[in-house]
Amino acid sequence: MPPSNQKALVLHEIGTPLRLETNRPVPSPDQDQVLVKVHVAGLNPHDQKSRDLGLFVQNLLPAVLSNDVVGVVVEAGSSVSDFKLGDRIVGQANWVKESPQSGLQEYAVLDAEHASHIPDSVSNDEAATLPTNTLAPVVALFEPSKLGFVAPWAAEGDYNRDTILVIGGASACGKFATQFTKLAGIGRIVVLGGDEAELKGFGATKVLSRFGEAEEVRARIQAAVGDDLRFVLDCVNAPEQQHIGINALSLTSGGKLARLRRTGTIQTELVREGAKYELVDIFGSSFEYPDLCKPFWKALPEYLVARKIRPLASRVIDGLDSEAVNKALDDYRDGRKVLKANVHVS
């Protein structure tokens, strides 16, 4: 039986540190939800923007952060059939008032259809690297209104002759994007930035250095893709640098650039004359695209067991340590190169 109250790290005011509370109510699951005892809460760059800028939580204060939640089921709603007490699961938390789903608390509720069983071969820390950083490329690649490839858990697509450019191969999103493009059967997967051996192990056919003058990088990409490129997924750049991907697209046919970052302005003076492109904004939320993402959560355990999707490395913060968690968010704010931080809540 879960307790009535719990510890949590809470954001009370935008731009202030998270603070430890010891008497926050434990939420109760609705009929299609489960209550989990949280073992790991994964941090991501957007959590820093939530704390400092109010991203996603401006109207939800006081708020608990972390959308990557790993835990053990301690209570299940009346309509839940896929999970039972004691199951180890991973899911994405939604942004809702009072933050019942967020990870930086001892107990959280998760929507059963937006969560997965964790195979025995996958650790809690590995599972916590999955939700946010898989869902962004899942939406970018497989949502019909985005890049529009057929989701491999729905049907087999014929993409052996297609080429895609993934920008930001060193990022967690870029690493998972590379794996999903391989899973989709895309024939030529060109990745800009990141470790060549690691990315080729994930399925990249060509890994390019991101360093050098803009024209050098453009020529490097052009040599790899020619005039055939119709699909770009930019996992890292702000709009001010998105001309890199735009200029890689075919001048003959044009194409789409899917982007995670949209705040800012494209430097149109740096875009090639005659460029034909469509910008596609990506929001990696399971709840925004349920028809796509619910089947993904069901398919995920099989992909993990088969190592068709491989979790990433992380570092550990022990306990709901407000100083350590705020420091991890500061690292994101200050642009330090760090591994994803997983908070061991219990």
Over the stretch 97-142, which tens digit does the pLDDT of each residue have?
999 999 999 999 999 999 999 999 999 999 999 999 999 999 999 9
Over the stretch 148-175, which tens digit does the pLDDT of each residue have?
999 999 999 999 999 999 999 999 999 9
In the predicted structure, residue 74 carries a pLDDT above the cut 90: yes
Q: Where in the chain is the domain with CATH 3.40.50.720?
A: 147-281
In the predicted structure, residue 221 carries a pLDDT above the cut 90: yes
If you average pLDDT over residues 303-328, what whole number do you get? 98
What is the structure's pLDDT at 122?
Answer: 98
Q: Where in the chain is the domain with CATH 3.90.180.10?
A: 5-132+286-344
Which CATH topology does 147-281 take?
Rossmann fold (3.40.50)
If you average pLDDT over residues 203-229, what whole number do you get? 93
Reported pTM: 0.96
Q: Which CATH number fits domain 5-132+286-344: 3.40.50.850, 3.90.180.10, 1.20.1440.230, 3.40.50.300?
A: 3.90.180.10
Q: Quote the CA–CA distance of 160 and 231 in Å, as a whole number.
A: 14
Q: In percent, how much of the chain has pLDDT > 90?
A: 97
What is the structure's pLDDT at 214?
Answer: 82
In the predicted structure, residue 215 carries a pLDDT above the cut 90: no
Over the stretch 247-259, which tens digit does the pLDDT of each residue have?
999 999 999 999 9
In the predicted structure, residue 341 carries a pLDDT above the cut 90: yes
Mean pLDDT of the chain: 97
If you average pLDDT over residues 272-279, what whole number do you get? 95
What is the structure's pLDDT at 81?
Answer: 96
